[in-house]
Structure 1
Amino acid sequence: MKNANAPVAGATSRYQLISHGVDPQNGYGDLLDSIRSRLSLAGDLPGVTVEQQIRLLDELSACELGRFLLENRGLNAYWTHQLVTYRQGQASTDSVSDMEYRIFEKLPAVLATRERFGIFRQQLQALLKPGLVLASIPCGLMGELLLLDYDQQPDITLVGIDLDQHALNGALELARERGLADRLSLRCEDAWTSSLQGEIDVLTSNGLNIYEPDNNRVTALYRSFFDILKPGGTLVTSFLTPPPSLSAESPWNMAEIDQESLSLQQLLFVRIIEAKWSAFRTHAQTMAQLVDAGFADIRFINDRGCLFPTVVARKPF
C-alpha cells in the first residue's frame, strides 16, 4: 500500500459529517439566546431551576471546550484526542475553570471513553505482528494507533480514513511528531463507501456508530468494515450502552459511577447541549449487528462502569 506524507483531498463536500459541524446561518450569540429560550420554556427540573441551568450554560460558554460543544453538539478529532489522552489529576481548579475541571476529571462518559481508549491501545498493541497493515476509520488524530510502540515492528503500515480534512491534517502532524509519517497513508473518504477492499489486517473504529441512530446503517457500516479487512483480519470497535433511565437492559455498573457527576452530565449533555452522540445499543444488539455483517469470535471488554464497551471481532478465513 502506498504511503503518503500528506492527506489526500477528497469528498468532504459530497458527504456530511454526522459528529460535528456549525450551522453557518446562526451566530454564536443567537445560539446562546436560543438555548436560554429553550431552557426557559422547558422549565425547572427536579432540584434544578431554570436559573441554575442557565448558569451552567454560561459556565460552558466561558471555556473553549464548552463553546465547541455548544456550537457543534459533538466532538471533533482535536477535542476527542484531548479528552482521551488527558492524564487524570493533571489539572487543578487553580489552572482551569471549574467547568473544565469537572468535564475532564469527573463526568462518567469522559472517564469511560478515556478508559476505552486505554483498552483499545492494549488490544491493538497485542495484535501487532511484522508486516501488518493497520487502519483507523474514522481516524481522527489517530492516537489509538500512532501512540503504540512500534520499536519491534519496523515494517508496519498505517492507514487513516476520515471525512474531516482537519482530522487528517492533525493525524499527519501527530505522525510526524511520533516519527511515523513515512508509514502513514491518509484518505478522505466516507466510512460506508471506502475504496479499501480486503487490504487491512487490523481495523479500529471508535465514535461513529454512537452518532448514527439507524440500526440498519450501523450494520451496513460493520459490513463495510468486514469488506475492508483481509480474511482472518481483526476489528476493534466500541459502542455506547443505554442508561438505566432508557432501557431495562442497561448494563451500567452504578457502583462505579459517581451520581453527582452523572446528574451534571445529564444536565450538560442532554438538557443544555443536546449532544448528538445518543445512539445507544446493548451488547446483544451489537453482537447481532456484527454477526449479521459476517464477523465471528466476537468478544466484549467492558470499562468499569460499562458505559463504553470495546468489541474485538474477527473476519473468518
Structure 2
Amino acid sequence: MTNHVKRSPVTDSSRLISHNVQADPTSQRVVEAVKARLCGDGNVPAATLEHQLGLVDRLSGFELGRFLLVNRGLDAYWTHRLVIHETDSLRQGMVSELEYLIFERLPAVLATRERFKIFRRELQARLKPGFVLASVPCGWMGDLLLLDYETYADVRLLGLDLDKNALDGAYQLANERGLARQVQLHHADAWEMDLNANVDILTSNGLNIYEPDNERVVSLYLKFFNALKPGGQLITSFLTPPPTLSNESPWDMNATTPTLLALQQLLFVQIIEVKWSSFRTHSQTREQLERVGFRDVTFVNDRGCMFPTVIAKKPS
C-alpha cells in the first residue's frame, strides 16, 4: 500500500469528526454509560425509559449497533456497507428486527443510499477520456471505483482521507475492481489539502454534515474550488433540516411514515446522539458555494428531500 498512498505532514486521525478510530465497538462500558445518561433524565416517563433502555440493549446486540453506540457516527466501512446494500435484499427474520429496520427501512439510511446512486449516475454521465476525478473524503471510494471505466482507461482517480483505515479499504476495493494502477490515495486533512487546480470533477459526501461551523464549511468549499480546474465541477451533498427544526424544511413527509421517523429520531438523536446533525437548507448551501466562486449551482433531490445532491461549476 505504501506505493499508492502519499502522506501529508498532517495525518493525526484524532482530528476525525465522524468517528473514533480508537474506540472498542464491543465496549460494555459505553453501553452502561448510555443507559446512565438516559436514566438521568428525570422527565422521561417510566414506560418510555424502559423502551429506550431496551433499544440500547438491542443496539448492542449487533455489530453496526455497537459501532454507532460507541462512535456516534459512521466510518468508511459502515458507510460503504450501507450505501451498497440493496434495499429489500434482507428479509425479516434473517437478523434482529432492529438491525433489519436500520438497513432496510430507516428514512436516513434510504436517503443516503439513494444519494449514493445519484452521485454515481451524475459522475458516470460526466466522464470523459483523460479526466482526473477526486473523492474527498474518499472513504472506501465507492462513488468513483464502482463507475464503469471500460472506455476511460486513462482516467486518473484521487482519494483523500484522514482515516488510514478508509484508505486501506479504498485500496482493497481498487484492487478488486482492477483499478489500482489508476488510483492515487492521500492520507491528509481535507481542510489542509492542496490539489493545485488539477481536478476535473471532485466529489464529496459525509464531511459537511458533521461540521456545525458554517465558516469551516465555507473554507472547505474553497478548498474544493481551488482543487478544480477552470470549468471543473463539484458534486457534493448536504442534510436538510427536519420540519421540527426549521420552517424551511423541504422534507416530503409522504415519502416515509411517522412511525419510522419517530424510531429514527429516538435512535439517532436521543439514544446514540449522532454527530451528523449539521443541517443546511438549499438556499444556505447555494450561498456558501457561490460565496467561494462556484456558479451554475443545481440540486438533485432524493425522494424525501432529506439528503440532496448539489452540483456546482468553477467558471472557465
Measured against the shorter chain, the TM-score band is over 0.9
Instruction: Please list, as runs of the form range in 1=range in 2, the aligned pairs for 1:1-317 lying within 5 A after superposition.
Output: 6-10=4-8, 11-13=10-12, 16-21=15-20, 28-43=27-42, 49-317=48-316
Superposition deviation, residue 8 in structure 1: 3.0
Superposition deviation, residue 9 in structure 1: 3.9
Superposition deviation, residue 22 in structure 1: 5.7
Are the equivalent residues in 2 in contact too, given 1:117–1:144 (CA < 8 A)?
Answer: yes
Q: Write the letter of the residue equivalent to 1:84.
A: V
Superposition deviation, residue 14 in structure 1: 7.1
Superposition deviation, residue 41 in structure 1: 1.7
Which deviates the most, 210-219 or 45-54? 45-54
Task: Give structure 1 stretches of 5+ with no counterpart.
Answer: none
Q: Write the letter of the residue equivalent to 2:87.
A: Q
Root-mean-square deviation over aligned CA pairs: 2.0
Are the equivalent residues in 2 in contact too, given 1:240–1:309 (CA < 8 A)?
Answer: yes
Name the CA distance, whole Å, in 2 between partners of 1:58 and 1:14: 30
Which deviates the most, 35-44 or 226-235? 35-44
Superposition deviation, residue 259 in structure 1: 1.2
Name the CA distance, whole Å, in 1 between partners of 2:21 and 2:295: 39
The CA deviation string for residues 183-227 of structure 1, in whole angstroms up to 9 with x for no partner, is 000000111111211010000000000000000000000000000
Question: Between Structure 1 and Structure 2, how many residues are aligned?
Answer: 315
TM-score (ref. length: structure 1) = 0.95
Are the equivalent residues in 2 in contact too, given 1:4–1:186 (CA < 8 A)?
Answer: no
Superposition deviation, residue 7 in structure 1: 2.5
Q: Taking every aligned residue pair, what percent have the same amino acid on both sides?
A: 57
The CA deviation string for residues 134-188 of structure 1, in whole angstroms up to 9 with x for no partner, is 0000000000100000111111000000000000010000000000000000000
Superposition deviation, residue 25 in structure 1: 11
Name the CA distance, whole Å, in 2 between partners of 1:37 and 1:14: 29
Name the CA distance, whole Å, in 2 between partners of 1:62 and 1:134: 39
The CA deviation string for residues 19-57 of structure 1, in whole angstroms up to 9 with x for no partner, is 000676999222111111111122465896100000000
The CA deviation string for residues 256-315 of structure 1, in whole angstroms up to 9 with x for no partner, is 122111111001000000000000000010000000011000000000000000000000
